[in-house]
């Protein structure tokens, strides 16, 4: 039974997250229906990460085990045909190495958070950015973000419903940059806690507007208390952009 590795992108707005849920639209449910439409096989796919309601992806990775040995390009094109008109696309398909798993073989995950920083609201990017009217100091945000890099107890930036066994995570990258009217935040880690990126982003915006300093962010991290977190950034600005594997 060949295992296929699929690189996918999707607009998260119409879905109640990636994970399949009874009676609710999900990215996983849509792809599994596309597989059944393509080859008649009912299966459960596996993903590198489970994005929340309204969160997008440009580099999500999943795998499916198919009963027939199809050419990868046939799998890609057939699934895309069955996914029309949903905003989900299979970008690449390949046969996975033996023992490879979309979730458990992953060594790095990268997220991008997009902020539109201007007075006027978005017209074309509604639900795809966080609109922040007050001017943001991206340089101050970047400098403050460096206190988050490294191995820490991220309880402050962990959703109360998070099911991870431990709040300890190693954040490899936290970078903030401005591109015109957009402020972009990049984060990389082997794995993240539930809503960790959105929680860190919201607190960094507090720095950007001048309500917090880098020391305030450091104090929030060291408090190990969810109540010390700033406002949680909305889901629409968040994108899973890359999943890295060995080899």
- Known catalytic residues are 52
Dist. CA 168–CA 171, nearest whole Å: 10
What's the distance, CA 176 to chain centroid?
17
Query: The tokens of 92 are what?
Result: 């690449």
Q: Which residues are 185's β-sheet partners?
A: 113, 176
**Is 129:115 a contact under the CB 8 Å cutoff?**
yes
Closest CA to 121 of 112, 134, 113, 132: 132
Per DSSP (E only), the strands in 11-133 are 46-47, 56-65, 88-95, 106-117, 130-132
């Amino acid at each position: 039974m060949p295992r296929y590795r699929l690189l996918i992108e999707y607009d998260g707005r119409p879905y109640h997250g990636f994970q399949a849920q009874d009676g609710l639209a999900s990215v996983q449910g849509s792809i599994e229906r596309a597989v059944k439409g393509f080859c008649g096989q009912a299966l459960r796919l596996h993903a590198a990460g489970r994005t929340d309601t309204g969160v997008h992806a440009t580099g999500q990775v999943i795998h499916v085990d198919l009963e027939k040995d199809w050419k990868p390009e046939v799998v890609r094109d057939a699934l895309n045909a069955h996914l029309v008109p949903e905003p989900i696309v299979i970008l690449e398909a390949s046969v996975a190495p033996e023992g490879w798993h979309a979730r458990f073989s992953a060594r790095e995950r990268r997220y991008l958070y997009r902020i539109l920083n201007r007075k006027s609201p978005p017209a074309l990017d509604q639900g795809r950015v966080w609109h922040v009217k007050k001017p943001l100091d991206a340089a101050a945000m970047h400098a403050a973000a460096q206190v988050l890099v490294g191995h820490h107890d991220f309880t402050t930036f962990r959703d109360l419903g998070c099911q991870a066994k431990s709040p300890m995570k190693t954040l490899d990258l936290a970078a903030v940059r401005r591109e015109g009217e957009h402020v972009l935040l990049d984060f990389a880690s082997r794995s993240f806690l539930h809503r960790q990126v959105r929680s860190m982003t919201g607190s960094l915006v507090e720095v950007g507007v001048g309500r917090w300093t880098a020391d305030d962010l450091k104090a929030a991290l060291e408090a190990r208390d969810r109540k010390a977190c700033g406002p949680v950034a909305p889901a629409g600005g968040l994108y899973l952009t890359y999943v890295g594997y060995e080899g």
